[in-house]
Structure 1
């Protein structure tokens, strides 16, 4: 295994996202500290249990998982990471992440002008990937399964190791090597998934035009799903007709508006069952259910067990192996 995954790397400054301790944290937006240059950071997250509530930021972020992990949500799509899973989060795309004690994940984030000096940040994604094709994975994140195989993972971990070493270094040209490794890693993955991107470009040619709509939809639902917004309210908030809103949600998530709201509530409840000591009734209320019995039925229908059983199961798993995340074996 590449040495990048065998050593802990502290970030040069704290990660901006905070835990949702109050239960109803506002939607957050973050920017990199640009008081110094270059604008690139990389670190290993491990041995921590933490919820990064729904937020967005103005930089690019890559998550490379060395172990299985709880579900994360990018835009309106939930994902279940496993060892080798890679996620590409574009600027201003809402997302929520939870790490548990077994999670090991490399987190890298960078400004566009670090990767491509001189390119303005104002281009829409469809135009940006034409100017910087190595960023194509960020455009198709929720349409392509970036679960890397053994050879791809070995190559990616080698690049990560080089970036970590050079990022720590003060040697001449260190950040130029980081930029080159990052570009090569992204460009090589683009070639790996070139056929998928080509097919998506044929079947979803409007992804560039719709990206702004989907960002507004994701922000509105992310901020309001616990109170159960109506379809009329949602369509007015994102300036789309009800039929267009429903069509976009169906196209990009494969489900309906109401089912999506319900799934996000249950996903939120799962997180709270693990991360808080709130009662079942309190959790039901905080994720938008005024009727606890209805919440119990909805949760069991989705999770296959009651909230109490789910909480006990996860607590037992965490006690059994709080620090046993080993990632992919070398």
Structure 2
């Protein structure tokens, strides 16, 4: 597991650092020796902390303490975030790592904040109130003008105050409750989009990414989407086969194997179920259409 150190990321002699990142491959399981506040600017992904996986998307905010193990995984190619990392000294706290609760009540006595927040702070869809602060802090950090460190300390306190009043502790809930039908479908699609071997994609892999058992993942997918997981995966395979029939010169058997079928009988039956014609007829139909459109 990767451990990130503040001194390896921030500029020398800084107590606050601003970063903006876009990773198609995501950010692997890691921890760090600093506080981190991340705001999702664009796209959709999964956020995992202490084996609890939750969909995350544009407008969401996550705050984690030092040594908390977590990760971000993209579900769309435009998954993009901005974060503020800082040391307690930026808030005039010396000699200790304060709790998340202490940070949120630093300037305001908010009775809604519990004495101890056990893990991360997760805020959904709070609009531009956070986005604008992150943008202003990034501008100050990049410009590094006269008095920028003092300005950024004030901005950090303002950010924490806004988080404090936007935060409300959630009751204990099933880790799956945040997994919407869209998020589950995107999770499955992400495997198909990144894999060159469709036949290698298994229920065990999908469940592992969601940090649940295979049986539970299958039941959850059915409950949330109304589709059997095997049915949805079949649809993705056949849709990919249809794309390859049009976009490549590969023969039908090669395409069949590529999308994960070893038995031509099952492949042809599945293809006709979705397109009502055979793969050969589908290719010929689109060749005729493309020829006509060029005339």
State the partner residue of 1:169.
143
Within 5 A, what are the aligned runs for 1:74-153? 74-99=49-74, 100-114=76-90, 116-125=91-100, 139=117, 145-149=123-127, 153=128
SS in structure 1 opposite 2:151? helix
Q: 2: distance between equivalents of 1:268 and 1:82? A: 13
Q: Deviations over 1:23-55 (max 9, x none)?
A: xxxx33221126711132223334x41121221
Shift, 1:68, TM fit: 3.5
* Higher RCO structure, 1 or 2 (CA under 8 Å, sep 6+): 1
Is the alpha carbon distance of 1:126 and 1:157 closer, same or farther for their aligned partners in structure 2, counting shifts above 3 Å? closer
Q: Deviations over 1:37-77 (max 9, x none)?
A: 1132223334x411212211111112212234122112333
State the partner residue of 1:301.
219
State the partner residue of 1:277.
196
State the partner residue of 1:212.
none
Is the alpha carbon distance of 1:133 and 1:78 closer, same or farther for their aligned partners in structure 2, counting shifts above 3 Å? farther
Within 5 A, what are the aligned runs for 1:114-263? 114=90, 116-125=91-100, 139=117, 145-149=123-127, 153=128, 155-193=129-167, 196=168, 251=172, 253-254=173-174
State the partner residue of 2:14.
38
Q: 2: distance between equivalents of 1:89 and 1:98? A: 16
Shift, 1:166, TM fit: 0.9
Instruction: Judge conservation of contact 1:77–1:142 (CA < 8 Å) in 2.
Output: no
Instruction: Judge conservation of contact 2:61–2:122 (CA < 8 Å) in 1.
Output: no
Q: 1: distance between equivalents of 2:134 and 2:47? A: 22
Q: 1: distance between equivalents of 2:194 and 2:70? A: 18
Shift, 1:109, TM fit: 1.6
Number of residue pairs aligned between Structure 1 and Structure 2: 216
Instruction: Judge conservation of contact 1:42–1:108 (CA < 8 Å) in 2.
Output: yes
Q: 1: distance between equivalents of 2:107 and 2:207? A: 42
Q: 1: distance between equivalents of 2:17 and 2:200? A: 41
Q: Judging by fraction of residues, say which structure has more strand.
A: 2
Return 5+ residue gaps in structure 2 as ranges. Answer: 177-185, 222-226, 242-295
Is the alpha carbon distance of 1:86 and 1:182 closer, same or farther for their aligned partners in structure 2, counting shifts above 3 Å? same
SS in structure 1 opposite 2:146? coil
Q: Deviations over 1:70-124 (max 9, x none)?
A: 221123332222321111122111111013412232222222222x134233445
State the partner residue of 1:51.
26
Instruction: Judge conservation of contact 2:49–2:71 (CA < 8 Å) in 1.
Output: yes
Q: 2: distance between equivalents of 1:314 and 1:182? A: 48
Please report the TM-score for the alignment, with normalisation by the length of structure 1. 0.52
Return 5+ residue gaps in structure 1 as ranges. Answer: 1-26, 204-250, 257-266, 317-330
